Amino acid sequence: MQLTGDQRAILNGERGPYLATCMRWLVEWGEVMGARRLVRCDNTHALLPVPNLMARGASRQTIDTYIGGLREACSHHTAPGCYCTVHTAFVTLDDLRVPENDPEQVRLQRELSDMAAAAGFIPTFTCAPYLVGNVPLRGEICAWTESSAVVYANSILGARTTRHGNESAIAASLLGLVPEFGVLLDENRKGTLRIEVSAALTCPTDWGALGYFAGRLAGLGIPVFNGAGRPSQDDAKQLCAALATSGGVTMCHVVGVTPEAPTLAAAFQDDVPGEFVPFTADTLRDTYASLRKHTGDEVDSVILGCPHASIREIAEIAALIKGKRVAPGVRLWVDTARATKGGADAMGYTAAIEEAGGRILCDTCPTNLRIAARRIVTHGFKQAHYARGMVGAEVIVARTEACIRAAVAGRWTGDE
C-alpha cells in the first residue's frame, strides 16, 4: 500500500506507540483487503463497551487488558473535524435495578464514557447513529461499527463505509483515515443478487423478513430488491438489520430508493442478471415461521426497538399502549438511544409507556445485557435471531401491534 510521508511517520512511531499500532492495524487490514492507499474519513461510529463477562467467569486479567486498551484509545483525541459517535454498551448507564446491570460494570462504563467524551467522541451509545444526528451525506467516507447501521449508511443514505470492528473504528477516529477497499470504491457497489419482491410488505417487520431471507442467500454479496416499493425509514432500518444478521452484507440496493440505484440497471451497473430469486407471500410467511418456534404461548418479555427505536416508533408504541396495562410478570422494554429518550421524555411518550407498565431502556439492549427470559416476542428479526443463543429464550417475531397485544395479554395471541 502506498503511504504518504506523514502516514509512514505515524507508523514508525512519531506520534507515539499507540497511534503507531492504530496505523499498523489500518495498513495491515488494507493490505489484506486489497487497498492501495488510505483515504480521509470524517465520520466514525466506534465501539467502546466494557465487556459484561465478569459475572460469568472471565478472568480479571482479561477484563483489565481489554478495558486498558479502550482507556488507551480514549487518552488520545479524535482527528480534527471527525464526527465520532459511540455504539451501544453492555449496560445501561441509567439506574436499572436488574442483576444483569452490574453496578461495577456501570461504574467502569461511566468512567470510560467520560474519557471518550473528553477525547472528542459523542457518547451516544446507540446502534442507530443515523437516528440521533449522525446522518452522513451521500458519498461521505465513514468508519462505522454496527453491521445494521453500516448497511443503512451505504444503502439508504448513499454514504460509504465498510464493516468496521472496534480496533479499526478507533484507529479511524484517532487518525481520520481508512484503507480504501470494498464499498468505498464504485466498482464494489454493484449488485450481486437479484431479488424480485412480489410479497406485499406492510410493516417494518415485513421488511425485516425480506432482509433475513435475503441475507442468508447473499452471504458477503450485495442483494438488489426490485419491486419492493418504497420503505419508510423504520422499514429500511429493519431491512438493513436483518440483512446483516443472516448474512455478512455491507450494502444492498432498494431499486428506486438507494441513491445510486434509481433503476434495476443502475443497481447492477448495467449488467442485470437474468436469474433472480422471488420473494413471494409464501416466502414472507415461511421466513416469519423460521423465527417462531415456541412450545407454549405464555410470554415473559416483549422487546421493541431493535435496532434502537426511532422517535416515531416510540410515539406509535405510546399510542398503542395508551389506556392498557402490561400483564403482570411481563417485561415490556423499548430500547432506544439516550438522545431519543430525551425527546420522548419531553414529549410525554415515556410517561405514557411507563404508566402502562413498560419502560424505555437506553444505551444497550436486552441481548447485550443478557437478560434472563424464557419466551420473547419482538418486532426485530435481529433481536429474535440472536436472543435464541445469547439469552437462550424461545422467540416469536411479529409486527409491533401484535407485540403490544402479547404484552397486554401476557401470552402470544397471534398476528391479528
Partner 1 sequence: MTSSLLIRGRGVVKGRAEGEALVADATLSFWGEVDPITGTVIAAGHPLEGESLRGKVLVIRSTKGSSGTPMILNLARLEGNAPVAFVNLEVDSLAALGCIVNGIPMITGLEQDPFAVIRTGDRVEVDADLGFLRVTPRVA
Binding site for partner 1 (CB under 8 A): 25, 28-29, 32-33, 47, 49, 51, 53, 56-59, 61-62, 65-66, 87, 144-147, 150, 162-169, 181-182, 215, 219-220, 244-248, 367, 385-386, 388-390
User: What is the nearest approach in angstroms of partner 1 to the Cβ of residue 168?
Assistant: 5
- Residue 381 CA: distances (Å) to CA of 17, 211, 286, 305, 306: 42, 9, 13, 11, 8
Q: Which is nearer to partner 1, 8 or 293 (CB)?
A: 293
Contact 249, 223 (CB under 8 A): yes
User: What is the nearest approach in angstroms of partner 1 to the Cβ of residue 78?
Assistant: 19
What DSSP assignment string belongs to 106-165? HHHHHHHHHHHHHHT-B----S-GGGTT--PPTT-BEEE--HHHHHHIIIII--B-PBP-
Question: For residue 53, with 0-12 CB atoms within 10 Å meaning exposed, 13-18 middle and 19 or more buried, which class applies?
Answer: middle
Give the cell for residue 342: 430525551
Contact 242, 212 (CB under 8 A): yes
Q: Which is nearer to partner 1, 294 or 324 (CB)?
A: 294
Q: Which is nearer to partner 1, 74 or 150 (CB)?
A: 150
Q: What angle do CA 378, 379, 384 make, to 5 degrees?
A: 55
Q: Which is nearer to partner 1, 60 or 230 (CB)?
A: 60
Euclidean distance between CA atoms 244 and 250, whole angstroms: 7
Q: Which is nearer to partner 1, 95 or 295 (CB)?
A: 295
User: What is the nearest approach in angstroms of partner 1 to the Cβ of residue 386?
Assistant: 4
Give the cell for residue 281: 407471500
Q: Which is nearer to partner 1, 70 or 356 (CB)?
A: 70
Amino acid found at 309: A
Question: For residue 358, with 0-12 CB atoms within 10 Å meaning exposed, 13-18 middle and 19 or more buried, which class applies?
Answer: buried
User: What is the nearest approach in angstroms of partner 1 to the Cβ of residue 11?
Assistant: 14
Euclidean distance between CA atoms 120 and 74, whole angstroms: 9
User: What is the nearest approach in angstroms of partner 1 to the Cβ of residue 77?
Assistant: 22
Phi, psi of 30 (to 5 degrees): -60, -40
How many Å separate Cα 414 from the centre of its chain?
28
Q: Which is nearer to partner 1, 125 or 349 (CB)?
A: 125
Sign of CA dihedral 406, 408, 410, 414: negative
Q: Which is nearer to partner 1, 92 or 367 (CB)?
A: 367
Report the candidate in 383, 385, 207 with the shortest Cα–Cα distance to residue 306: 383
Question: For residue 295, with 0-12 CB atoms within 10 Å meaning exposed, 13-18 middle and 19 or more buried, which class applies?
Answer: exposed
Q: How many CA atoms lie within 13 A of 376 on its CB side?
A: 30
Contact 314, 344 (CB under 8 A): yes
Torsion of CA 13, 14, 17, 22, to 10 degrees: -80
User: What is the nearest approach in angstroms of partner 1 to the Cβ of residue 400?
Assistant: 23
Q: Which is nearer to partner 1, 47 or 353 (CB)?
A: 47
User: What is the nearest approach in angstroms of partner 1 to the Cβ of residue 229?
Assistant: 26
User: What is the nearest approach in angstroms of partner 1 to the Cβ of residue 34?
Assistant: 9
Contact 353, 338 (CB under 8 A): no
Question: For residue 69, with 0-12 CB atoms within 10 Å meaning exposed, 13-18 middle and 19 or more buried, which class applies?
Answer: middle
Q: Which is nearer to partner 1, 121 or 144 (CB)?
A: 144
User: What is the nearest approach in angstroms of partner 1 to the Cβ of residue 113?
Assistant: 17
User: What is the nearest approach in angstroms of partner 1 to the Cβ of residue 66?
Assistant: 6
User: What is the nearest approach in angstroms of partner 1 to the Cβ of residue 359?
Assistant: 23
Phi, psi of 107 (to 5 degrees): -60, -45
Q: Which is nearer to partner 1, 220 or 265 (CB)?
A: 220
